[in-house]
Structure 1
Amino acid sequence: MYVKNEHGQTRPAAGGGTEPGRAAAGSPELPEAARWFEALAAYAPAPAFIRDGHGRYLWVNAAYAHLYRLEAHAVVGRTVEEVDAPDDAAVFRALDREVLTSGRPVRHTLLFRHPDGTPRQVTGHRFVLDFGRGPRVGGIYRDVTDQAQALEDKAAAAEELHALWERSGLAIVTLDLRGRVQRVSGGVAELLGGDRAHLEGSRAAGHLSGDCRAVRRAWADLILGRAARRTCSVVCRTAAGGSLVLRADLGVIRHRGAPDRISAVLHALGPESAAAARVSPVQLRVLSLMAGGESNGAIASHLGLSRQALDYHLRRLREALDAASRPALVARAYTLGILDGRAWPPRAALPPHPH
């Protein structure tokens, strides 16, 4: 067992296991302050004891005796050397002397291993009760094992979250339920350009262009509890004035069971372009079939187009995507995020431009 004083210094401490209860019959009469303390702490869940100036137990409550897996009468009347391990007893004696010498309470933390083998941590005070029939030392503790573990877990989670936000390079955004940006990671500033101050506090809709129906549907599903996660693609304006096609993995963050905010992890589906490509629904189908390896004749037949109509759409696609051949059209469609690089057979990543 180890003991930690109020200054945070740790040293070998007293501990072991015992089980508490009321003072045994025939124990020495307790002075008034000690009797008052006994009445207060007898049924408290916090372990408590009274010892004389010679280290002999005059009274322990049930919670204290339980630390040693003993009955109270098996502790009362014995000295700390008879109950605790030698190193632990020496520390207990030193703490008692410190209290009796100074006359002031001493706050300390005990680190020990419970008889069942689990590590435990308690914090408490020792204090002088009165000197009516010689010096009496009282003590009461609170088990802080779970609290200490919770604080350690919280610190570890905070460190993991900080590493995710600031060191991973991921583009992460949190938004309130009205769509206002609350916080962005450094990866978002790198992806979209500009700085965090420009992005945080702004409305997300102000950074989007094109058809946002898929985003609105995903947002409604999350807020209304129909889903915990949704994925959609969006066109986002960059600080330089260009457009970037992004995949947004949206998740709902709850507080006390109710949706509180939305998190989004953003991935670029293509490089920044001067403007979003204007591709009609028919042209999207042409690109999808072309990426799947269909010939011009098969594409025209599948879409019910004449060869002249198909040629018209191919010409418009070459102009919109700045690509001179079928392979170049397919490559540009994937590069710009028009086609979904994660899907087969090929399919559109974004809704068609509404022109």
Structure 2
Amino acid sequence: MYADAEDGHGRPERGRWAAPTRRPPGPQDRPESAHWFEAIAGFAPAPAFVRDGQGRYLWVNAAYAHLYRMAPDVVIGRTVEEIDTPADAAMFRALDREVLQSGRPVRHTLSFHHPDGLPRQVTGHRFVLDAGCGPRVGGIYVDLTEHTRTLEERNVADEELHALRERSGLAVVALDLSGRVRRVSGGAARLLGSGRSALEGSWATEHLDDDGEVGTVRGIWADLVAGRTPRYSGSVVCRTASGGHRVLRTDLAVVRRHGAPDHIAAVLTALSAEFHGRPRVSPVQLRVLTSMAAGSPNTTIAAQLGLSRQALDYHLRRLGGVLDAASRPAMVARAYALGILDATAWPPRAVDAPGRS
């Protein structure tokens, strides 16, 4: 800086350079950015600490103290032996010595326990800090505990789903949003009498019995994909690999990924034995069947349907021929075996009866 000075004769001289007076640096000389950094580090989400060579905490941020359910000022000044379990404290001491002796930072993943016994896992760096007052050990870590626990729970859920799909015999089919089969379980392949390789990659509509069912399924499918309904339950007649047919209960549900529909999961349940040429019964004959299945005598059935005894006998003879059954019990049994009557419902009703959703 410029200052007034005296010449050799005691007269003042102006404009000469004078050396500044030096004073020791104080807290007021710290750059403003250092205060900002300290504030940010104190509340950063990554746990961080500084310890001396004796394992005593000199500084920790809030995230590090939170690992131990403590406040930072409770941790600072204590040693690792006062904070951690004996086994964990010995491990941390050994890691500190390794870093101090080598002078090189180390990246690692640590598993340890809270004093209350709860397991924790972190990953990060441990390194040497030397600010002129002796070596210090610093560490910055990311807490993986919740992430690890979530992954473990997901693995368990995946294993349970795999066991349910592959080992329970449940017939499960995964289809993409266009209706193409992505994956089938062993139970689904057996139900349709086919191999997985023949089913996967095919279109779902290829396995339906007639065009009428295809049109109905397309409408339901559009509602599922558009989000107008989250699930649907109904029955369909499917073709089997041997050229026969089988009535299946089909439970469809939308599987979402990141909030958007990703694919459709279908659970199939057999409602009939495999048959070739499913008998077609008239609406009146279907009502006669449901009444017989409920145990109603002929007089009650005739009264309920408004039929004469002769008219009821005619329909019974026709039913016997259509179902290839010689008695009332045989007609009912055949109706259930062929999927005409719903084996999961009471009172008896037809598989195609409305009200299933």
TM-score bin (small chain): 0.7 to 0.9
For residues 324 and 167 of structure 2, what CA distance do their matches in structure 1 show?
37
For residues 284 and 299 of structure 1, what CA distance do their matches in structure 2 show?
12
Verify the 8 A CA contact 1:50 1:60 in the aligned structure 2. yes
Further displaced range: 327-336 or 135-144: 135-144
Determine helix, strand or coil for the equivalent of 1:151: helix
Structure with bigger gyration radius: 2
C-alpha distance after superposition, 1:275-299 (max 9, x if no partner): 2222222221222222233444554
Q: Report the alpha carbon displacement of residue 304 of structure 1 after superposing the two structures with TM.
A: 4.4
TM-score (ref. length: structure 1): 0.76
Q: What amino acid maps onto 1:270 in structure 2?
A: S
For residues 94 and 198 of structure 2, what CA distance do their matches in structure 1 show?
60
For residues 241 and 55 of structure 2, what CA distance do their matches in structure 1 show?
74
For residues 326 and 273 of structure 1, what CA distance do their matches in structure 2 show?
20
Verify the 8 A CA contact 1:235 1:276 in the aligned structure 2. no
Decide which of 269, 278, 281 is 1:279's aligned counterpart.
281
Determine helix, strand or coil for the equivalent of 1:209: coil
For residues 187 and 245 of structure 1, what CA distance do their matches in structure 2 show?
15
Verify the 8 A CA contact 2:320 2:331 in the aligned structure 1. yes
Further displaced range: 42-51 or 224-233: 224-233
Determine helix, strand or coil for the equivalent of 2:159: helix
Q: 1:219 to 1:280 in 2, by over 3 A?
A: farther
C-alpha distance after superposition, 1:253-302 (max 9, x if no partner): 23344443322211112211122222222221222222233444554454
Q: What amino acid maps onto 1:136 in structure 2?
A: R
Verify the 8 A CA contact 1:209 1:235 in the aligned structure 2. yes
Verify the 8 A CA contact 2:247 2:338 in the aligned structure 1. yes
C-alpha distance after superposition, 1:6-65 (max 9, x if no partner): xxxxxxxxxxxxxxxxxxxx9xxxxxxx99996873442322222333434443334334
Instruction: Tell me which residue corresponds to 1:49.
Output: 49
Residue 140 (str. 1) matches residue 144 (str. 2): no
Instruction: Tell me which residue corresponds to 1:101.
Output: 101
Verify the 8 A CA contact 1:223 1:259 in the aligned structure 2. yes
For residues 298 and 88 of structure 1, what CA distance do their matches in structure 2 show?
82
Further displaced range: 252-261 or 315-324: 252-261
Verify the 8 A CA contact 1:100 1:128 in the aligned structure 2. yes
Q: 1:125 to 1:344 in 2, by over 3 A?
A: same
C-alpha distance after superposition, 1:159-193 (max 9, x if no partner): 01110111110011122333322221110111111
Instruction: Tell me which residue corresponds to 1:241.
Output: 243
Instruction: Tell me which residue corresponds to 2:343.
Output: 341
Verify the 8 A CA contact 2:62 2:71 in the aligned structure 1. no
Q: 1:226 to 1:66 in 2, by over 3 A?
A: closer
Q: Report the alpha carbon displacement of residue 336 of structure 1 after superposing the two structures with TM.
A: 1.2
Residue 75 (str. 1) matches residue 99 (str. 2): no
For residues 319 and 297 of structure 2, what CA distance do their matches in structure 1 show?
16
TM-score (ref. length: structure 2): 0.76
- Unpaired stretches in structure 2, ≥5 consecutive residues: 1-25, 27-33
Q: What amino acid maps onto 2:280 in structure 1?
A: R
Verify the 8 A CA contact 1:248 1:267 in the aligned structure 2. yes
For residues 308 and 62 of structure 2, what CA distance do their matches in structure 1 show?
93
Determine helix, strand or coil for the equivalent of 2:202: coil
Decide which of 304, 325, 330 is 2:327's aligned counterpart.
325
Q: What is the aligned-residue RMSD (CA, Å)?
A: 3.3
For residues 301 and 75 of structure 2, what CA distance do their matches in structure 1 show?
92
Higher relative contact order (CA closer than 8 Å, sequence separation 6+): 1
Q: Report the alpha carbon displacement of residue 121 of structure 1 after superposing the two structures with TM.
A: 2.9
Q: What amino acid maps onto 2:184 in structure 1?
A: V
C-alpha distance after superposition, 1:208-255 (max 9, x if no partner): 115527655654554455543332121111111111111222223233
For residues 216 and 58 of structure 1, what CA distance do their matches in structure 2 show?
68
Verify the 8 A CA contact 1:61 1:72 in the aligned structure 2. no
